Amino acid sequence: MFPLGMVVFPHQQLGLYVFEDRYQQMLADLDPDRRFGTCLIARGSEVGGGDERLSIGTVVEVLAAQPFNDGRALILVEGVHCCEVTTWLDDAPYPRAMVRERLCVDCGIDPILLKSTESTVRALRALQSEVNADECIQSNCSMDADPKVRSWQLCSMTPMSTLDQFKVLSLSDPSDRLRLLAEICCERYGDYQRMLAIDSSHRSLN
C-alpha cells in the first residue's frame, strides 16, 4: 500500500515520486501486473510512517517508470478499481494490508445526469481558470465513451477538497457519485465567483 495525502480515482493517471527506501522496495516487490494499493492519509505525513490511514482506496497500475541510479524513481500510475482494506498488516518495511475489491453498484447511468454533471464540471473548470490558471491547465480533456469510465474521469477533473474527494470515492452508486459531484461543483462555483469579485474590487481600488 502507498498512503497518500490525496485521493486517486479509478481511471485517473497520476505521477508519483518514489524516494523513500521502503517504497523503492515496494516497487521491486511488485507482481508482474505492476499493481499496488493507495489510500488517503487521515492524519500524519506521507513521509516517514506513523500515519493514520483510511480504509477505502484505489488499486493502481504502473504504466511507466523512470528509475534513477540511487534507487529513486518517477512513476506514472493509473487507477484501476476501488478497494477496501479489511486488515492492516505490519509495515515490513512498507505499509501492507489485506484488501478486497470494492465493487460499484451494477446499474446504468442516466445519460441526462451524466451530461448535466459534465457540463457543471466543465463550467467550474472554466471559472477556475479565471481565478488561477495554474490550477487548471487542461480544460478540454479527452473523455471515454464508456459512461462508467467517464463518470470517474469527471471526478478526477473536479477541483475539490481532499475530504470531498474521499466522500465521492466512497460512494458505490455511480449516480449518487454524479449527484454529489454536481453539488460540490455548485458550491465551488460560488467560492470562485466570490474570489473573482474580491479580486475585481481590489483592482478597482488600486
Summarised one tens digit per residue, pLDDT across range 23-33 is 999 999 998 88
Question: In this predicted model, which residue has the larger pLDDT, 206 or 79?
Answer: 79
Which pLDDT score is estimated for 49?
Answer: 63
**Any idea which of 50-64, 70-84, 90-104, 184-198 has the lowest mean pLDDT?**
184-198
Q: Which of 45-49, 63-67, 190-194 has the highest mean pLDDT?
A: 63-67
Residue 197's nearest CA partner among 147, 134, 130 is: 130
For 74-131, write each residue's pLDDT tens digit. Answer: 999 999 999 999 999 999 899 999 999 988 777 789 999 999 999 999 999 888 887 7
Tell me if 76 sits within 8 A of 27, measured CB to CB: no
pLDDT at 138 over 90: no
Asked if 186 and 120 touch (Cβ cutoff 8 Å), the reply is: yes
Residue 62, φ and ψ in degrees, nearest 5: -75, 120
48 pLDDT higher than 70: no
Q: Regarding predicted confidence, which is higher, 100 or 50?
A: 100
Mean pLDDT estimate for the chain? 88
Q: Which of 135, 136, 173, 166 is CA-nearest to residue 151? A: 173
Q: What is the pLDDT of residue 203?
A: 59
pLDDT of residue 136 exceeding 80: no
Q: Determine the Cα–Cα distance for residues 69 and 120; give it in Å rounded to an integer.
A: 45
pLDDT of residue 139 exceeding 50, the answer is: no
Query: Once rounded to an integer, what is the mean pLDDT over residues 5-32?
Result: 93
> Can you tell me the distance from the alpha carbon of 93 to that of 114, in angstroms, rounded to the nearest whole number?
43
Angle (CA) 108 110 113, round 5°: 140
Mean pLDDT computed over 7-18: 95
